[in-house]
Structure 1
Amino acid sequence: REEREALEKSSKAEFIPYVKMWSSLLTQPLPKIKRASLDIEVASPDEYHIPSPEEAEHQVIAVSIYGSDGRKKVFLLKRGDHSLGDSKIDEAEVLFFEKEESLLEAVFLEMLDYPFIITYNGDEFDLNYLYHRAKNLGFTEDVIPINLGRDQAWIKHGVHIDLYKFFANHALKVYVFESKYVENTLNSVCEAIINESKIEFEGSISDLPILELGRYCFNDARITYMLTSYNDDVVMRLLVVIARVAKMPFEDLGRLGVSNWIRSLMYFEHRRINALIPTSEEVSARGTIYSTAITKGKKYRGAYVLEPEAGVHFNVAVLDFASLYPSIIKVYNLSYETILCGHSECRSNIIPETPHWVCKKRYGITSLIIGSLRDLRVKLYKPLAKKYPPGSDQAVLFNTISQVLKVILNASYGVFGTEAFPLYCPPVAESTAAVGRYLILKTVDECRRRNIKVVYGDTDSLFISGAGKGEAEKMIEWAEEDLGIELDLDKVYKYVAFSKRKKNYLGVLPNGNFVLKGFTGKKSNTPKVIKDAFYNVVGILSKVNSQSDFEAAREEVKKYLKGITDDLRKKKIPLADLSFNVMISKDLSEYVDTTPQHVKAAKQLERTGRKVKGGDIISFVKTTTPDGVKPTSLAKPEEIDANKYIEYMKSTFEQLLDALGYEFDEVIASTKLEDFFWA
């Protein structure tokens, strides 16, 4: 209460009602939500084929439900040609069924006990398949607790949350989960977030002994549930707070992007204050753009980026403008109805680096909403989260609120600056970017005036090298006094290795953890051998503590990569580690104009008699055969095109090696006579 009252006293009169409104709403207790996760397994005759939910031609052979009330059940279909096996599922009650219809009836009844059903890709598969399979078996609509929309599945008695779409949300992935995972699969997300994984097996799911199948299915339901329960139900708490801020129902939150959250919030506020919601045409006609875009495809000049000083820099501090663009929107009163207002006395209130002026007589709706949320996060909830003991109810609540506001605020500039957004106003977007450039350049100039070395700058952050804590604190004081903007000491790296490219660097923290920006080794379609090599190299570099350590690590990296390329030339790498795994997005007959590599591999599989459908995952390797690729299952080690993989390694590592001071070609240069015989 004291902190909130202090914030109210420091706020301008126009913002106080918003601070009171938001703080009253957001500090309400977060409910414990009764829920259950659900996972199904289907008898598919082909281990490479994902059964079609719409056709639902194969039996549902296992379903697991993992409830927040302690109930855990596995529903298994007895099949005469399959043994039970000797696996145990100690944690759950196991129920056997002679008929598939009886199994589905029991599952549907169990679902009715939970107001929230949690799945991982349930929109596309689990609930979708259950609905169509039940219809195929003669179930009537009134006994199926599922409804289907165009691209989502609903449950009639409550709420269905598809975690696949939640964790695939880019804003949440970056600002809440800190890009800990690259792929959005259940296994990748669980390994990164809760240190759990799916159970591995060989062959087809249909061939597993019945109890082993049940153990596999139950584990999927268990780890899906754990994604909502870890860290004191943090994901469920996030959903509650997002719903409160965005004024949206739960089911929409996980499926729609942050731009829809902000649109819903803005429209709600218009209705609350009895203001007409303008059409997108009315808003976009407020003014024109004067700057010239540097980035292709953009309408106006964007953020300022200071070219990185390539190489390695030790003791690098990152100065971060606290919610820079939301701060600009608030401080400069940027909103579609305040920019280029009709008051002659406001025409002198010019936005830096633009011909646009902004109203001095009243605050705009965007400035009030975004500005008040920004102040609440920076001045109230973020400090409160640190005030209370970690793990306490207060700390969890305030940290959750702070995270949600961070997501919405950090996305707000991008949303308001996107033409597709209904409240997109060109001069507001241009002005926001212009002020951002102005503030960053002023700060760079001040650093240089104080003899502080700036090695990189991007959008709302400056990387300074060799500055002590005292110098950083003085810069923070200067920014608040001279610019009216808050500057934070975001983090301090042991060292940062920059490539010559923008937005590409490796930063190593004092605890050995590392931050990677922009490197292709993180891409999800990278073969395992190259992905593993990339992270092993980063692991070597993360142990560096001094310049001498760094020189030794450079040589170790060079030697390690040379070993990988030698193994590629000598065909020593297992085919599975060389595989690319790509989904066929449509039936093969529909690929007419172009034939991508995974389609070439799929057509080879068809010629062997295997049926390939849209949705199948095709595993293939690059070969010296006429097609240039072969399905992994048909390829031989001697057919592998080592040069293609070495080229892929080069594209993956050249940015990182650039920062280390040498080129990939130096790594693969043959130094021994026998190497020439393997090239």
Structure 2
Amino acid sequence: MKARLWLVDLNTELLLGKEVVYLWCISENGERILLVDDSVENFFFAISENILPEEAIKSSFPELKKHGVLRMEVCDKRLLGKPIKAVKIVVDKSENIERVVGRLNRLKTFQKIYEDDIRLSTRYLIEKRITPSSWIEVEAEESPNLPSIPNFKAFKVKSIEPLEFSSIPKLRVMAVHILKVGEKGSPKPEYDPVVAISILTSEGESKQFTYDGKSDKKLIDDFINYIKSYDPDIILGYGITEDWNYLIERSKRVNSLLEVGRNYAKPHTSVFGHVSITGRLCIDLYHDARDNPQLTEYTLDEYARSLGLRVDPQIPEYKYYEYLSDPSKKEMLLKQSEECAKLIYRIWNIMGDFIIQLSQLTGLPMDHVLTASSGHRAEYYLIREAYSIGELIPPRTEKPYVPYAGGLVLQPKKGVYENVSILDFSSMYPNIMLKYNISPDTYVPSEESCENCFISPESGHRFRRDYEGVYTRMLQKLLNARKEIREKLKSVEEESIEYRILDARQKVLKVLANTLYGYAGWIGARWYLREVAESVAEWGRYTIRKAMEKAEQLGLKIIYGDTDSIFVIDGDKLEELMKWIEEELGMEVRIDKIYRRILFTEAKKRYGGLLEDGSLEVVGLEVVRGDWAEIAKETQLGVLKIMLETMNTDKAISYVRNIIADTRSGKVDVEKLVIWKRLTKPPEAYEVRAPHVLAALELIRRGWRVDIGDKVGYVILKGTSRIGERAKPYQLVEKADIDYEYYVRNQIVPSALRILEVFGVDEQTLLKEPRRGLMLFGTE
């Protein structure tokens, strides 16, 4: 058989005592195909610094052969750009590699070990030059002893090649929302059954399995059977990693066999933290939300809104039990679960192409690519690039953190400014690395001579000009590919599938290129070198300063700068400045945003702005932080909106005074007074008894289940003791006991003053009683 197939996922298995790779694929006509490849080899590299590699092999092979080494051979490799002779050591099984390395360390024949920590599935992809979520061309044959998988045809691989083919086959996608409810605190699988599982498939079928009031066994079994009958390629959820762990524990307690893998395997947590289901992809969109700096609560509805989706108000999790136990409200809760499954699928329609392209380019399967940090994604791409030029892949080692100066952040000038443009240098760092050939393998240590080197502007670190570094090679490839795609997009119909896929790919290329600077400064990186990150930061500061100097020469006023952007009051010379930056500094720059008005406090990275479309953007202020009561956030957002839209101080003062009056008179809902804080360790492990910790301990004393990771909501009550001792769990609070004056003076007024003090308003002004008959928002 010769066929074009799309690789969904892969895993390694033992077949007849030999390690093989399973490739789960989809054919061009939609057939599900399992490929089995037994040609894969386990190997790593070793370097001998004292004797010739041939002699090292001769002296060590007889001993290593006893521990599973099949053969050893000398290879020409590169180590940080320099040619070197390395010994390739081929081992019979993955599980024996650690034992062989341990034996090598005792023999002391070799001094350095490389690539012993590369997993077999990763090695296979690199060796075959293929990636998940991509097309491959395969020659395969039928063979005895291949596994029998329902709905799949199995073949043995004879040859396999990557294919450049941009289409995506029709995937069977199943969006899942699992409703769990705890009577006292967060739901725990030891006590609390699953209430409902809601499903929406890519064919539009909607299903919901519900708890019968006695046991969740039938619900779980129905869910398992549905997976087997629908046979999804992708199981999609939000927080589904935690959900699967919950289901694993529940299935044990009700004796359900959670055999949902395509080979009937049970789900398990992989070494990378995601839940692995053999032959299927389990994609947790929560991990994408966690990477979004604009989010504060990381709820499904907040994430959906950040992607531009309209979402109805959600029942908060802390009210789930109230709704579940009230027959008149229960259906509302179950309906919300159904709507959540639909919302998850709508998010997939927006994010799916991006996730697929991210998987293709990094070489990580879709279920892993979202759980991986941005540094790991960049590293997987680098590993493939390094392999292509024969560069040995460094091991991950513990390295001391040595601080260095980062990007340039200016102290803002407090006040309100109009017509402010943000000049974005977001591609600055990749361009700097390219321009000055900054890479670990081009760095020249101080003890070595270099006649023709780039020299960093502050520390004097040197980088070779005559050799293309691994970072440089990666960046050039990414940026060239993006340039080609963007050119191609000009001739492709915007509504077409091809446009959608190409646009997603160019976005991923940009993300990966911009990630490399952060990766260079990450001490967990295989290729970490402080001098590299330090030099890029130095050239970045140099670039921003030069741009600022030129702006001032042109008469433009700069009011703020943050790492890779500067805030400029718009003027006639803005285009001239941008042209100069591109021509003289060799950096791309673009107008990222234009604010009609923007307000700065005295602190760095804290401002709020009114964009051209009338929307508000808030950075660093209380309104976007999770540790303030909702009443404080509401107040600050309202004040900011009034001041940026109208610049009417009286109107803002009146607005705050009315909130204060409503609060003092007890008209504000208790929910708006709750302060939420997440436990980062078990409550009893805290030495400092902060308010949320004391509230958690009280809940435990009253029989609630509270543990690490749970969010604790508390309200401050009246009294004379210190604040922490007056913090009570919101579930146990009577409205008459609330210390409303605390909220006025410690939540509402401080959050409002963060904005209004810029206009000379003080605390006493806000605390004055509103005049009788004054309208809610004052007068214009």
Q: Is the 8 A contact 1:127 1:146 kept in 2?
A: no
| Partner in structure 2 of residue 668 of structure 1 | 766
Once the two structures are TM-superposed, the CA of residue 280 in structure 1 deviates from its matched residue by 5.7
How many Å separate the matches in 1 of 2:211 and 2:201? 21
Once the two structures are TM-superposed, the CA of residue 501 in structure 1 deviates from its matched residue by 1.7
How many Å separate the matches in 1 of 2:713 and 2:493? 49
How many Å separate the matches in 2 of 1:337 and 1:609? 59
Once the two structures are TM-superposed, the CA of residue 541 in structure 1 deviates from its matched residue by 3.7
How many Å separate the matches in 2 of 1:515 and 1:212? 33
Which segment drifts farther, 498-507 or 437-446? 498-507
| Partner in structure 1 of residue 207 of structure 2 | 73
Which segment drifts farther, 636-645 or 575-584? 636-645
Q: Is the 8 A contact 2:224 2:259 kept in 1?
A: no
How many Å separate the matches in 2 of 1:638 and 1:648? 19
| Partner in structure 1 of residue 456 of structure 2 | 351
Specify whether residues 651 and 481 from structure 1 end up closer, same or farther in structure 2 by C-alpha distance, changes over 3 A only. same
* 1:454-465 equivalence runs, <5 A: 454-465=558-569
| Partner in structure 2 of residue 310 of structure 1 | 414
3-state DSSP class of the match of 1:62? strand
Q: Quick one: which amino acid aligns to residue 526 of structure 2?
A: P
3-state DSSP class of the match of 1:442? helix
Once the two structures are TM-superposed, the CA of residue 664 in structure 1 deviates from its matched residue by 4.6
Which entry has the higher C-alpha Rg, 1 or 2?
A: 2
| Partner in structure 2 of residue 634 of structure 1 | 732
Once the two structures are TM-superposed, the CA of residue 602 in structure 1 deviates from its matched residue by 3.3
1:41 aligns with 2:157: no
| Partner in structure 1 of residue 194 of structure 2 | 60
Specify whether residues 628 and 274 from structure 1 end up closer, same or farther in structure 2 by C-alpha distance, changes over 3 A only. same
Q: Is the 8 A contact 1:323 1:374 kept in 2?
A: no
How many Å separate the matches in 1 of 2:622 and 2:499? 37
| Partner in structure 2 of residue 5 of structure 1 | none
Q: Deviations over 1:87-145 (max 9, x none)?
A: xxxxxxxxxxxx74443222112113111111221211x22222222222223465776
| Partner in structure 1 of residue 361 of structure 2 | 245
| Partner in structure 2 of residue 166 of structure 1 | 288
Once the two structures are TM-superposed, the CA of residue 426 in structure 1 deviates from its matched residue by 1.4
TM-score by length of 1: 0.80
Q: Is the 8 A contact 1:353 1:438 kept in 2?
A: no
Which segment drifts farther, 388-397 or 618-627? 388-397
Once the two structures are TM-superposed, the CA of residue 443 in structure 1 deviates from its matched residue by 1.1
How many Å separate the matches in 2 of 1:366 and 1:330? 8
Once the two structures are TM-superposed, the CA of residue 66 in structure 1 deviates from its matched residue by 1.0
| Partner in structure 1 of residue 556 of structure 2 | 452
Q: Is the 8 A contact 1:147 1:155 kept in 2?
A: yes
Q: Deviations over 1:394-426 (max 9, x none)?
A: 442233223323332333212211222221111
Between Structure 1 and Structure 2, the one with more helix by share is: 1
| Partner in structure 2 of residue 135 of structure 1 | 252
* 1:104-115 equivalence runs, <5 A: 104-112=220-228, 113-115=231-233
How many Å separate the matches in 1 of 2:164 and 2:717? 58
| Partner in structure 2 of residue 272 of structure 1 | 388
Specify whether residues 214 and 322 from structure 1 end up closer, same or farther in structure 2 by C-alpha distance, changes over 3 A only. closer
| Partner in structure 1 of residue 513 of structure 2 | 409
Within the candidate set 489, 508, 522, 2:591 is matched to: 489
How many Å separate the matches in 1 of 2:761 and 2:480? 47
Q: Deviations over 1:21-67 (max 9, x none)?
A: 999988723444321012233464x1x422223x2x44334222211
Q: Is the 8 A contact 1:521 1:653 kept in 2?
A: no
Q: Quick one: which amino acid aligns to residue 311 of structure 2?
A: E
TM-score by length of 2: 0.70
* 1:447-526 equivalence runs, <5 A: 447-468=551-572, 471-526=573-628
Extract unaligned runs of 5+ from structure 2.
1-129, 135-161, 773-780
Within the candidate set 576, 579, 582, 2:674 is matched to: 579
Which segment drifts farther, 366-375 or 636-645? 636-645
Q: Is the 8 A contact 1:340 1:357 kept in 2?
A: yes
Q: Please, what is the CA RMSD of the aligned residues?
A: 3.2
How many Å separate the matches in 2 of 1:310 and 1:115? 54
* 1:178-217 equivalence runs, <5 A: 179=294, 181-193=295-307, 194-197=309-312, 199-200=314-315, 203-204=321-322, 206-207=324-325, 209=327, 214-217=334-337
Q: Deviations over 1:495-532 (max 9, x none)?
A: 22222222222222222122222212211232121122
Q: Deviations over 1:65-96 (max 9, x none)?
A: 2111222111234348xxxxxxxxxxxxxxxx
Q: Quick one: which amino acid aligns to residue 338 of structure 2?
A: F
> Higher RCO, 1 or 2 (CA under 8 Å, sep at least 6)?
1
| Partner in structure 2 of residue 90 of structure 1 | none
Q: Deviations over 1:297-317 (max 9, x none)?
A: 971122222332221221222
| Partner in structure 2 of residue 10 of structure 1 | none
Once the two structures are TM-superposed, the CA of residue 146 in structure 1 deviates from its matched residue by 3.4
3-state DSSP class of the match of 1:259? helix
How many Å separate the matches in 2 of 1:334 and 1:374? 16
How many Å separate the matches in 2 of 1:592 and 1:473? 55
Identity of aligned residues (%): 26
Once the two structures are TM-superposed, the CA of residue 613 in structure 1 deviates from its matched residue by 5.2
Specify whether residues 376 and 479 from structure 1 end up closer, same or farther in structure 2 by C-alpha distance, changes over 3 A only. farther
Q: Deviations over 1:135-166 (max 9, x none)?
A: 22223465776322275432234111112122
Q: Is the 8 A contact 1:38 1:118 kept in 2?
A: yes
* 1:211-360 equivalence runs, <5 A: 214-229=334-349, 234-279=350-395, 299-340=403-444, 344=449, 346-347=451-452, 349-360=454-465
Q: Is the 8 A contact 1:512 1:542 kept in 2?
A: no
Question: How many pairs were matched up?
Answer: 595
3-state DSSP class of the match of 1:312? strand
| Partner in structure 1 of residue 664 of structure 2 | 569
Q: Quick one: which amino acid aligns to residue 240 of structure 1?
A: I
Q: Quick one: which amino acid aligns to residue 251 of structure 2?
A: A
Extract unaligned runs of 5+ from structure 1.
1-20, 81-98, 286-296, 544-548, 675-679
Once the two structures are TM-superposed, the CA of residue 327 in structure 1 deviates from its matched residue by 0.7
3-state DSSP class of the match of 2:593? strand
Q: Deviations over 1:164-191 (max 9, x none)?
A: 12211x2xx14xxxx2x32111232234
Once the two structures are TM-superposed, the CA of residue 206 in structure 1 deviates from its matched residue by 4.0
Within the candidate set 514, 517, 533, 2:635 is matched to: 533
Q: Is the 8 A contact 1:36 1:66 kept in 2?
A: yes
Q: Deviations over 1:321-366 (max 9, x none)?
A: 2511011011111000112179845355322233122211121110
Specify whether residues 272 and 512 from structure 1 end up closer, same or farther in structure 2 by C-alpha distance, changes over 3 A only. same
Q: Is the 8 A contact 1:33 1:236 kept in 2?
A: no
Q: Quick one: which amino acid aligns to residue 203 of structure 2?
A: D
* 1:431-442 equivalence runs, <5 A: 431-442=535-546
| Partner in structure 1 of residue 236 of structure 2 | 118
How many Å separate the matches in 1 of 2:677 and 2:555? 51
Q: Deviations over 1:531-572 (max 9, x none)?
A: 2222222332453xxxxx42x2x3322221222233333433
How many Å separate the matches in 1 of 2:164 and 2:634? 43
Between Structure 1 and Structure 2, the one with more strand by share is: 2
